[in-house]
Amino acid sequence: MRNGINLAGAFLLILILAACTTAELAPTMTSVVVPEDTPIAETPTAVATNPVVTTEPTPTPTVTATNTVPPPTETPAEQATATPEPNLGGGAPDDPPSSEVVPILVRPEQWRPGLGDIAVLWPDGSGLKLLTTYHYNADPVLSPDGQRIAYRSVPSTITSLPEPGPRLSEGYYNIWVITTDGEQAWQLTSSEAARSVPSWSADSQRVIFSQGESGELVEVDVDLQDRRVITQSAFNPKVRPDGSGVGFITRDGGLAWIDASGSTFDIVPSSSLPPNTVVNDFDWLTDGQGLVYTLADLSEQIGGSTLGIKYGVWVNDVDGSMPVLLADGARNAKASPNGQTVAVLTGSGYADACFVDQRLAFLYLDPERAEAELVDMGDLNGFPGSIAMGSFFPLANVTWSSGQQALVEFGLTCEEDRSSAGWYLIDSQSRQMLQVRPPFQSFEDVADVESGGPAAGIQLTGIEVIDRAIEAILSNDLDARQELIHYTTAGCTTADGLGGPPKCEPDQADGTPVTYFPVLGPGEGSPVMTEDIDNTIDFVVKELYAAFRRLDPTEVDIYYPAGVYGLVFSLVDEGGITGVTVRLDDQGRIIRLDFFIQPPETQIDGQGIELLIQPATD
């Protein structure tokens, strides 16, 4: 019941994806930025905002005049001044994260790969909250305390051009920070420059990134607006988990780290690498005593593409003394918070109209880090069935949401049925994957689906059994819905005609007891058998429109009971179906679904009901 992507759009998307994969090579920086009204000096700006970062001319959070810190003037010479003893935010955070939300990049199909809007949701896919509406943001990174998100954004001086497309691949970004509730944002840079994905200090107070061709390593205190240059010739930095230093890729393709006193230590000296081989990416292991990293052999690279590059993921101690090859053909290593698993991408990343050479895999480290077991995504329980023509592939590597669970978005090319694409929750320990949110067709769909989640507070009735059903339906979680389904049992009939008891199978006698679930569609009803219930309840909710109680709960049709309560929901992308009324009995069990194509008010007008939740208004 969901729309598919047209082939021309798929072809365009794949060509762009193929071009973008070259950005993963070696120590060049990639970053994303938020827009600004007027270019200002290269100084951070604190901004008090309304909940959603809007479109240009002010593309990032919509700002008000309150609590705005005016940007101090700063000459280029002052910008380059290094601080001899940079404060790297040492010390681990005192408190565990107060939020379990996961930051994601939402990018509807046919949109530019790698760019979109920043949102948060719960690990089970529910509670989507859109934080920006600029469409040119990327690479959200959650702070260790779970309160803020740093991300990159393409400067509005580029996106406001009549034809911005050719310049979007230049790798120029600004760095922004936004709170996970979207209420406040800070612009840390305001110029066209190559900037890396930001990294948080361990105390969640500072953001560190590299910028420019010189590899200037910059640290910005978000609240105090202090900006320090730590060193030069350092690319793609990541803060050591204990806050004692920052790892980075060197200009000549090695791997090193710098401590709070400014001393630099080699981990993988470029001189120790074979010719034409560089560090492509890296990540710290949780204990801070080891790292995983990708080496890229560029000897047989074809042009500027990713074809011909030979990748391998390694693990090493922080002093560089114990290099171990974990897997050939893997890249883009991301260590889990518990330090036991590393998510990687395999394949070249090359793409044509229907084929994308990119898969997700997991490396399970042994306790001594001497070897690892590689498990491909196709070996996970819950992996979608065979794909006829196209490719089912991860759009990027995972975002870890806990010690062992991660969210990842999958794309699907050249398939009419695109229902298997979208967001998946993967449990690396149990080796299971579960689709938690379908793909978005447009940015309007993203805004429509936004539900606020548990943190924002769903509108409820105060009646426990009803509120449980409301939360289950809004979660878009099939398991939660399945638990509330209550089947009806009735004797089947061999008579022709619509309505009435379920029809007997050819081998069943008239009156044979049959267990089914009643469903009404536009104009007629049909019984759904137990084995088909998942398809019936797999709809995507836009919002709760109203909730009601029937004043007279007497059942007129025992085969299609109307129940005691009704929940009216509007739906997203359901092929002409605009909504569903969920019928509940007095125990809050779902006893019938009524799908409709009329406006939702038709489900409550003249029905002899008491409204428990008033109709939603625009």
Per-residue pLDDT, 322:
92
Confidence of residue 221 (pLDDT cuts 50, 70, 90): very high
- Burial class of residue 166 (count of CB atoms within 10 Å of its CB; 0-12, 13-18, 19+): exposed
pLDDT of residue 258 exceeding 60, the answer is yes
Q: Residues in the chain, how many? A: 618
Strand order in the sheet with 359-365: 330-335, 341-346, 359-365, 372-376
Region 460-483: mean pLDDT is 84
Task: Map tokens 């598919």 to a residue.
Answer: 4
Q: Indicate the residue type of 310.
A: K
Specify the pTM: 0.63
- Residue range 65-110, pLDDT digits in tens: 222 222 322 322 223 333 323 334 333 333 333 347 899 998 876 6
CATH superfamily placement of domain 7-449: TolB, C-terminal domain (2.120.10.30)
pLDDT of residue 307 exceeding 80, the answer is yes
CB 188, CB 157: distance < 8 Å: no
Strands 372-376 and 359-365: antiparallel
Per-residue pLDDT, 150:
97
Region 233-241: mean pLDDT is 97
CB 241, CB 268: distance < 8 Å: no
Average the pLDDT over each of 200-209, 372-381, 594-603 and give the range with the smallest value.
594-603
Structure-model confidence comparison of residues 180 and 6, the more confident one: 180
Structure-model confidence comparison of residues 556 and 137, the more confident one: 137
- Residue range 393-417, pLDDT digits in tens: 999 899 998 888 999 999 888 877 7
Per-residue pLDDT, 85:
31
Q: Which of 387, 402, 279, 294 lies closest to 340, judged by CA?
A: 402
pLDDT of residue 138 exceeding 90, the answer is yes
To which H or E segment does residue 216 belong?
Answer: strand 216-221
Confidence of residue 16 (pLDDT cuts 50, 70, 90): very low
Region 514-542: mean pLDDT is 86
Average the pLDDT over each of 110-114, 142-146, 486-490 and give the range with the smallest value.
110-114
CB 94, CB 145: distance < 8 Å: no
pLDDT of residue 345 exceeding 90, the answer is yes
- Measured between alpha carbons, how far is 207 from 337 in angstroms, rounded to an integer? 19
- Measured between alpha carbons, how far is 61 from 153 in angstroms, rounded to an integer? 12
Confidence of residue 241 (pLDDT cuts 50, 70, 90): very high
DSSP-derived secondary structure letter, 597: S
pLDDT of residue 214 exceeding 80, the answer is yes
To which H or E segment does residue 473 belong?
Answer: helix 464-474
- Measured between alpha carbons, how far is 197 from 172 in angstroms, rounded to an integer? 11
Most confidently predicted of 222-236, 470-484, 514-528? 222-236
Structure-model confidence comparison of residues 406 and 25, the more confident one: 406
Q: Where are the domains of the chain?
A: 7-449, 458-613
Q: Which of 570, 572, 616 lies closest to 446, judged by CA?
A: 572
Q: Which of 612, 587, 611 lies closest to 485, judged by CA?
A: 587
Confidence of residue 122 (pLDDT cuts 50, 70, 90): confident
Average the pLDDT over each of 451-460, 509-518, 561-570 and give the range with the smallest value.
451-460
Per-residue pLDDT, 74:
31
Neighbours of 187 (CB within 10 A): 25
Average the pLDDT over each of 153-167, 361-375, 433-447, 578-592 and give the range with the smallest value.
433-447
Average the pLDDT over each of 158-162, 458-462, 463-467, 562-566 and give the range with the smallest value.
458-462
Region 200-209: mean pLDDT is 97
- Measured between alpha carbons, how far is 357 from 374 in angstroms, rounded to an integer? 18
- The answer for residues whose C-beta is within 8 angstroms of residue 51's C-beta and 6 or more apart is 131, 181, 182, 183
Strands 590-596 and 513-521: parallel
Per-residue pLDDT, 105:
92
The DSSP secondary structure of 298-347, one letter per residue, reads -TT--TTSSTT-EEEEEEEETTS---EEEEETEEEEEE-TTSSEEEEEES
CB 149, CB 118: distance < 8 Å: yes
Q: Give the E-state strand segments of 318-444 in sequence order.
A: 324-328, 330-335, 341-346, 359-365, 372-376, 392-394, 399-400, 405-412, 422-427, 432-437
- Measured between alpha carbons, how far is 574 from 491 in angstroms, rounded to an integer? 32
Per-residue pLDDT, 575:
63
CB 342, CB 334: distance < 8 Å: yes
Per-residue pLDDT, 451:
41
pLDDT of residue 201 exceeding 90, the answer is yes
Percent of the chain clearing pLDDT 70 (strictly above): 79
- Measured between alpha carbons, how far is 225 from 51 in angstroms, rounded to an integer? 22
CATH 3.10.450.50, applies to 458-613: yes
Structure-model confidence comparison of residues 37 and 167, the more confident one: 167
Mean of per-residue pLDDT scores for the chain: 80
160 alpha-carbon distance from chain centroid: 26
Per-residue pLDDT, 33:
33
pLDDT of residue 176 exceeding 90, the answer is yes
pLDDT of residue 11 exceeding 90, the answer is no
